[in-house]
Amino acid sequence: MPCRPSDWAPGGLDRILPTPFRRPSPRCTNLVPERVRPALENTLKDLQLDYIDLYHIHWPFRLKDGAHKPPEAGEVLEFDMEGVWKEMENLVKDGLVKDIGVCNYTVTKLDRLLRSAKIPPAVCQMEMHPGWKNDKMFEACKKRGIHVTAYSPLGSSEKNLAHDPVVEKVANKLNKTPGQVLIRWALQRGTSVIPKSSKDERIKENIQVFGWEIPEEDFKVLCSIKDEKRVLTGEELFVNKTHGPYKSAGVRSLGSRELSSHQPSCMQAEEAQRR
């Protein structure tokens, strides 16, 4: 089975990341150039592997060793994004990693990275579900040729959308479970998707998302869920309201108008609904 992000052409094969797909990320405390390779080497040793398919920058900030949650004064350190990325690129060159990517990036940070990157990120991973469509970032990645992976596609354990009445209604209509509808929604948007369950039955249920489609009218209904709220803002990880350097987590994003025409973006669906 093709596993590399470069095989996931837009509109190509459906993408739910298979279990053997190896996609760890260095801890925020290791986001300093000299720690990137040792961190990867430790991960390879732990996993007893020779290489990793996809290595992500987990969050675009660096924490001091032993940082608290939320961080105390002086625990959020300067992040040398370009230096860290260069080391990630070296891992690719040395065959230790097949592809490199980022998570939780903003458009500004992505463009800063792209200005110096010799190997552009293959993947950008972000929170994405009908309750946080993240259109602006999704469209920015598409425009820059970067594949998107949707994390927390069920809304996470905190905001489990499997119990949302709109999702339940669509699921009943299609004779599918709410979990399947949410995962299928992500695939139909053109992202790969990483649902998580601790239960065997649900893992089996969550993989039954191929060979059927959410019809356009129901896709639009799912897109119309109004209570847009990001669950994982990262606030407890990197915000110190008194001492900074991050005094808040920007949590709302309004959708971009620059839409590409070939993907069923939610914004397109919403606009179509308005017309």
Which parts of this chain interact with ligand NAP (CB under 6 A)? 58, 103-104, 125, 151-157, 160, 162, 177, 179, 194-199, 202, 205-206, 232
SS (H, E, C) the chain: CCCCHHHCCCCCCCCECCCCCCCCCCCHHHCCHHHHHHHHHHHHHHHCCCCEEEEEECCCCEECCCCCCCCCCCCEECCCHHHHHHHHHHHHHCCCEEEEEEECCCHHHHHHHHHHCCCCCCEEEEECECCECCHHHHHHHHHCCCEEEEECCCCCCCCCHHHCHHHHHHHHHHCCCHHHHHHHHHHHHCCEECCCCCCHHHHHHHHCCCCCCCCHHHHHHHHCCCCCCCCCCCHHHHCCCCCCCCCCCCCCCCCCCCCCCCCCCHHHHHHHHHC
- Looking at the Cβ atoms of 98 and 230, the one nearer to ligand NAP is 230
Compute the least distance from the CB of residue 203 to ligand NAP, in Å.
8
Compute the least distance from the CB of residue 271 to ligand NAP, in Å.
27
- Looking at the Cβ atoms of 207 and 259, the one nearer to ligand NAP is 207
- Looking at the Cβ atoms of 162 and 267, the one nearer to ligand NAP is 162
Compute the least distance from the CB of residue 58 to ligand NAP, in Å.
6
- Looking at the Cβ atoms of 157 and 273, the one nearer to ligand NAP is 157
Q: Nearest to ligand NAP by Cβ — which residue?
A: 179
Compute the least distance from the CB of residue 23 to ligand NAP, in Å.
9
- Looking at the Cβ atoms of 21 and 259, the one nearer to ligand NAP is 21
Compute the least distance from the CB of residue 149 to ligand NAP, in Å.
8
